[in-house]
């Protein structure tokens, strides 16, 4: 395989407006393009972080629910790299996003914390300094 990097992550949400508000206005991701696909009754929102395309946010009518917490089978979580976990926790809390207690990775001694998107998808901020 000649993989270069992860191109994007696709997320299906249950409430498009709520998830768009969360990812764009609370987390600060940039909108690259937004489209409504009438034939599928579905929105598709392409989002970037620091100019790099990273997330496709979809809405589909009647999507089945999936268990979503860090220890469920499947995708465990999506992690965002930060320089200061404490500052990021404060920023998340200031916009109404609850976070768990900060943890320390026993192998790297790096600090991290989990929070959730509007559908309960586990998200993480991971300190790299």
Domain match, 43 and 73 both? no
Q: What is the pTM of this model?
A: 0.84
CATH code at 18? 3.10.180.10
Q: Which range of residues forms the domain containing residue 29?
A: 1-62
Domain match, 36 and 74 both? no
Instruction: Write out pLDDT tens, residues 12-51.
Output: 899 999 999 999 999 999 999 999 999 989 999 999 999 9
Pairing of strands 52-59, 9-13: parallel
Report the alpha-carbon distance of residue 24 to residue 47 in Å, rounded. Answer: 8
Which pLDDT score is estimated for 93?
A: 97
Report the alpha-carbon distance of residue 9 to residue 91 in Å, rounded. Answer: 23
Instruction: Write out pLDDT tens, residues 90-116.
Output: 999 999 999 999 999 999 999 999 999
Report the alpha-carbon distance of residue 97 to residue 70 in Å, rounded. Answer: 17
Domain match, 56 and 75 both? no
Q: Looking at the 3D structure of the chain, how many domains does it have?
A: 2
Report the alpha-carbon distance of residue 16 to residue 26 in Å, rounded. Answer: 14
3-state secondary structure of 93: helix
């Amino acid at each position: 395989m000649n993989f270069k990097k992860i191109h994007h992550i696709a997320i299906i949400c249950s409430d498009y407006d709520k998830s768009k508000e969360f990812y764009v206005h609370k987390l600060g991701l940039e909108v690259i393009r937004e489209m409504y696909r009438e034939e599928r009754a579905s929105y598709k929102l392409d989002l970037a972080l620091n100019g790099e395309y990273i997330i496709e946010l979809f809405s589909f009518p009647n999507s089945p629910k999936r268990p979503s917490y860090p220890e469920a089978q499947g995708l465990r979580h999506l992690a965002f790299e930060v320089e200061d976990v404490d500052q990021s926790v404060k920023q998340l809390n200031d916009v109404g996003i609850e976070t768990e207690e900060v943890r320390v990775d026993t192998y790297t001694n790096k600090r991290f914390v989990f929070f959730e998107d509007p559908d309960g998808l586990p998200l993480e901020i991971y300190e790299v300094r």
